[in-house]
Structure 1
Amino acid sequence: MILEVKGIRKCFGGVVALSDGNLVCRRGRITGLLGANGSGKSTISKIITGVYSADCGEINYNGQCVKYKNPNEARQDGIAMVFQNLSLVPDLTVWQNIVLGAEQKKGLGLDNQCAKEQSEAIIHKLQPGLDISKKVNQLNPGEMQIVEIAKAISANPRLLILDEPTAALEQAQVKNLFAYMRELAEQGVSMIFTSHRMWEVMEICDDVIIFRNGENVAGIDFHEEGKDAEKIIGYITGDTKKEECQIGDRQIDGETVLSIKGMNYGKMLKNISFDLRAGEVLGIGGLAGQGQNELLLALAGAYPELKCDAEIKGRRVKLTKPVNAVRNSILLVPGDRQLEGLFLKDSVYKNTIFPKLALKRQPIFTPDKKYRQECEQMVKSLSVKTHNIDTAVGTLSGGNQQKVVVGKWLSFDINVLLLADPAKGVDIGAKRDLYQYITDMVREKNTSVILYASDSEELIQYCDRVLIMYEGQIVESLEGCDINEDAIVSASMCINKAKEVG
């Protein structure tokens, strides 16, 4: 046993990230660290490597109790980590990034030749042909991730922690990484591997440890107990019963409002096709970063080079400009309210009337009195807490800012309302108000909604149908009582593919 972590607790303010974290990793084995978003996986990995300090608990590494002050201390002791967020310097070359902070000296200078040879040897195994003399800012996201992985491997660690290293990688890159991981394991290197792709876990791991709500709830040794993907999913989700149905049997039989056929955009969206009916709440689910935000942005006209056959109520439309989407009443509530949804220095009122400028027919003079009345009504309807409508929107709380992002569409006749994780980062009260408003629109105005939510509970509670996305494609469609935690997680992780591997 190279690592044993016992009773780790960590709080950030009043939020408990880890309540009782325990983890064991054996020499020369690859241990999967699994769990839903927010379960504590990244937190315990960062505590092991000295990014965070634990509030209590102990870490035994290589027979000694350790407590690292920073990742450099851990690295010098043989523990390296591949973080989710890249730690590369864009203006340096591939090889310079790989050896950065661990350069070898030659006389009075640095041994650059040795550094290049070392970098080339690692890169050749991870991605043959990648030019180590290229600057990082010239690489695509997958290549940057390869460099990040190579940087950790170059430290010759005894324990290598990989926190979702494959999220940006293509299949060929994953295959090369797994081959290298097996080689390292044969050399006695221990690894902790985190991934939301179940088939990857089933293929590469020797055992798994599963976290839920800040503590580990199970450990499974594949060599002794075999590979049972459904069992793992049950531990991750807490054994949600498939027969549970929270949305009832609402019949959606209205006209088709939006029809999308063959939507393609680079590598992010691949052959997307679906229909949306009047009064339907269509959910978009799946693991983060699988093309959900890109889909909503495409529908909102953000990509001029988008290829797609689109119809609104039987009429062809081009979704290549935001103005086209707005004029056809396809309206977006973006995922990042501060960067994409608001002018923070402007007032609530100005933020509310700004979308009207895209309308075809503009009055010569702005009907200020009418618009102010509409804004006051929006503030009242959504319970926006503000001194008045002339208050700068940037001074409001996050939840009230989000209400303004949604509420600015209140006076429009909406064909399709696009919601990109609308309740992300808002408090429980604001979330309740937002979804009550959206539910009222659907029931009273027969509004059609496309909702992407990173929290599957929102999809379960509010959606009539859920499309699961995986690597830019729709891989599953769930309806009625089939919309449950188990089904969403299984489809998100491509569980059927995992079963084939297992």
Structure 2
Amino acid sequence: MHLLRATSLRKTYGGITALKDGNLECKRGKVCGLLGANGSGKSTFSKMISGVVTPDDGDIWFDGAHVRISSPQEAKKHGIIMVHQHLSLIPELTCWENMTLGFEPVSGMGFLNNAQSRELARTYLSKFAPGLSVDRKVKDLSLAQKQFVEIAKAVAQKPKLLILDEPTAPLEQSEVEKLFAVIRELKAEGTSVIFISHRLWEIKTICDHVVVFRNGETVGAIDFATEEKDEDAIVSMISGKDLQLVKHKAQTGGAARKERQLEVEALALRQSRTPVRFELGKGEVVGLGGLQGQGQEQLLLALSGLHPSGSARITLGGKRLKLRHPRDAVRAGMVLVPGDRHKEGLFLQHDMLLNLIYPQLAVRKTGFFLSRRRLKAEAEQIIGRLNIVPADTGKVVQFLSGGNQQKVVVGKWLPLAPKVLLLSDPAKGVDVGAKKELYDTVKQLAEQGTSVLLYASDYEELMAICDRVLILFEGQIVDQLMPSDYSEERFVAASLRSETAADRSPIEAWGEAK
């Protein structure tokens, strides 16, 4: 019997359709895997079932009745609990206080029963983290421990339907197995689970069937009880392409044969058990691909000196670097264009002149007196080179368009002639014309010998500009794609399959190509 059946769910925000045809069925005591690329509608659908978002259209049947769920409180009354990607815990409260917040046990006289609350929290938290004290404050816990507190809080409410939105993202393999053990217990008790994950091995291990979303609608389903757990079929539904028709040519060296500019070894990212190791050739444009949040931005921040690089061995232009501060990277010739231009890349309340010249003031020895005429001439040269509109050094940056603001973020580094340019999704929120001009500038810099490390959330951008692309998964480089490999389905397959990591490291492949 189906515990949940949702049909034709739809949601729009203004002129943007977040979900246009969401359909899913989940049987009692079964685990349904909900799959899809970023932006496919999974989270919107889940929020509708859990009452966070109200659908514009469609129907939801739960436990045999047609229901309209207009709030999380109403969803809880039906027995629907969701664990969101972003934690809802209060840092200053203890584990037990967080776990029982909102459904605290009370005594016969109506007073809060803290002893019973502690015991309830201890019972459920011990399933995930047996040695973790329920009296510890959440702010003192690791990310994995916080995740377990969040999940234990949901399980303690004894839901009929538990929705887990990427619950394993901060967990290691052994911790994932603990979670799966609890999910199996829930199944045995008749609880249904909707499990959202990008890790295909997890889906094949714990799910009874899967439903796939693409571009805001349900495109297919596979019942593992009657059909094979075929990764190709799943990835094909996610990408919309038939993987069997994809022909991969032999890898070619291409730009990888260029002189080595940057070498990175033993750089451990937060969520990775295996340190990152790769190289950049002089004038080479290398992309960072994979699903969002897999360590791409963290890698760029580490190389920029903003995040500690630990015991990493970083060599630029033949010289070893010790990155303790962003100025160490900048002075060595490695600069970052950050992902959030408003918060991290610009002084919004100041004019273009200040924004374009301040890196020089911080790095170069310009003497006691500054030549405003010279600095203004350099700023005007940058404005002309990047076609920033309006061409007025006195224009306050906050009044520029998004595309022109991003040009300023890139342009401020040009007078320093950087050896390595680190780009974090530079074309996000930029119109097509400005995007082309931005990447034309990147290509020109590469032709002049600047090496570029580019993270872009859009596969098309990576395929259009990169000499090769490194695929990251949970802080590790798991694959390397050459231009002969480029296709949307190849990117999707590489991003989802952590177990298909290349046998050779990118450095070894780089050396053989050379």
Task: Compute the TM-score of the two structures, normalised by the length of structure 2.
Answer: 0.91
Secondary structure at the aligned position of 2:266 is classed as strand
Deviation at residue 357 of structure 1 after TM alignment: 2.6
* Residue among 395, 399, 411 paired with 1:395: 399
* CA distance in structure 2 between the aligned counterparts of 1:201 and 1:268, rounded to whole angstroms: 20
Secondary structure at the aligned position of 1:224 is classed as coil
> Which shows bigger deviation, 390-399 or 413-422?
390-399
2:494 maps to a residue whose letter is A
2:240 maps to a residue whose letter is G
Q: How does 1:78-477 map to 2 (within 5 A)?
A: 78-106=79-107, 107-239=109-241, 242-243=246-247, 250-264=254-268, 270-304=274-308, 306-386=310-390, 388-443=392-447, 445-477=448-480
* CA distance in structure 2 between the aligned counterparts of 1:267 and 1:20, rounded to whole angstroms: 35
2:377 maps to a residue whose letter is Q
Deviation at residue 252 of structure 1 after TM alignment: 4.3
User: In the alignment, is the contact (CA less than 8 A) between 1:269 and 1:294 conserved in 2?
Assistant: no
Deviation at residue 251 of structure 1 after TM alignment: 4.2
Secondary structure at the aligned position of 1:257 is classed as strand
1:469 maps to a residue whose letter is L
2:199 maps to a residue whose letter is R
User: In the alignment, is the contact (CA less than 8 A) between 1:244 and 1:484 conserved in 2?
Assistant: no
User: In the alignment, is the contact (CA less than 8 A) between 1:465 and 1:483 conserved in 2?
Assistant: no
Secondary structure at the aligned position of 2:124 is classed as helix
- % identity of equivalent residues: 47
For residues 47-66 of structure 1, what are the alpha-carbon distances to aligned partners after superposition, in whole Å with 9 as ceiling and x for unaligned? 11111111111111112222
Is the alpha carbon distance of 1:399 and 1:149 closer, same or farther for their aligned partners in structure 2, counting shifts above 3 Å? farther
The residue number in structure 1 matching 2:38 is: 37
Is the alpha carbon distance of 1:283 and 1:78 closer, same or farther for their aligned partners in structure 2, counting shifts above 3 Å? same
Is the alpha carbon distance of 1:29 and 1:349 closer, same or farther for their aligned partners in structure 2, counting shifts above 3 Å? same
The residue number in structure 1 matching 2:493 is: 490
> Which shows bigger deviation, 457-466 or 234-243?
234-243
Is the alpha carbon distance of 1:478 and 1:360 closer, same or farther for their aligned partners in structure 2, counting shifts above 3 Å? same
Secondary structure at the aligned position of 1:298 is classed as helix
> Which shows bigger deviation, 302-311 or 38-47?
302-311
Deviation at residue 268 of structure 1 after TM alignment: 5.3
Q: Within the alignment, does 1:28 sit opposite 2:29 as a pair?
A: yes
> Which shows bigger deviation, 301-310 or 448-457?
301-310
For residues 350-398 of structure 1, what are the alpha-carbon distances to aligned partners after superposition, in whole Å with 9 as ceiling and x for unaligned? 1211111332432332222222222223333334344833233233343
Secondary structure at the aligned position of 1:110 is classed as coil
Structure 1 vs Structure 2 CA RMSD: 2.2
Unpaired segments ≥5 residues, structure 1 = none
* CA distance in structure 1 between the aligned counterparts of 2:134 and 2:54, rounded to whole angstroms: 35
* CA distance in structure 2 between the aligned counterparts of 1:209 and 1:466, rounded to whole angstroms: 29
User: In the alignment, is the contact (CA less than 8 A) between 1:98 and 1:150 conserved in 2?
Assistant: yes
1:441 maps to a residue whose letter is L
User: In the alignment, is the contact (CA less than 8 A) between 1:327 and 1:358 conserved in 2?
Assistant: no
How many pairs does the alignment contain? 496
Deviation at residue 318 of structure 1 after TM alignment: 2.2
* CA distance in structure 2 between the aligned counterparts of 1:231 and 1:332, rounded to whole angstroms: 39
* CA distance in structure 1 between the aligned counterparts of 2:483 and 2:376, rounded to whole angstroms: 41
* CA distance in structure 2 between the aligned counterparts of 1:307 and 1:391, rounded to whole angstroms: 44
The residue number in structure 1 matching 2:510 is: none
* CA distance in structure 2 between the aligned counterparts of 1:48 and 1:328, rounded to whole angstroms: 52
Task: Compute the TM-score of the two structures, normalised by the length of structure 1.
Answer: 0.93
The residue number in structure 2 matching 1:481 is: 484
* CA distance in structure 2 between the aligned counterparts of 1:457 and 1:16, rounded to whole angstroms: 21
User: In the alignment, is the contact (CA less than 8 A) between 1:310 and 1:317 conserved in 2?
Assistant: yes
* CA distance in structure 2 between the aligned counterparts of 1:265 and 1:163, rounded to whole angstroms: 23
* CA distance in structure 2 between the aligned counterparts of 1:195 and 1:372, rounded to whole angstroms: 51
Unpaired segments ≥5 residues, structure 2 = 502-514
Deviation at residue 266 of structure 1 after TM alignment: 5.6
* CA distance in structure 2 between the aligned counterparts of 1:398 and 1:389, rounded to whole angstroms: 17
* CA distance in structure 2 between the aligned counterparts of 1:385 and 1:72, rounded to whole angstroms: 50
* CA distance in structure 1 between the aligned counterparts of 2:219 and 2:343, rounded to whole angstroms: 38
* CA distance in structure 1 between the aligned counterparts of 2:412 and 2:94, rounded to whole angstroms: 46
Is the alpha carbon distance of 1:3 and 1:238 closer, same or farther for their aligned partners in structure 2, counting shifts above 3 Å? same
1:229 maps to a residue whose letter is E
Deviation at residue 453 of structure 1 after TM alignment: 1.5
> Which shows bigger deviation, 206-215 or 2-11?
2-11
* CA distance in structure 2 between the aligned counterparts of 1:346 and 1:269, rounded to whole angstroms: 43
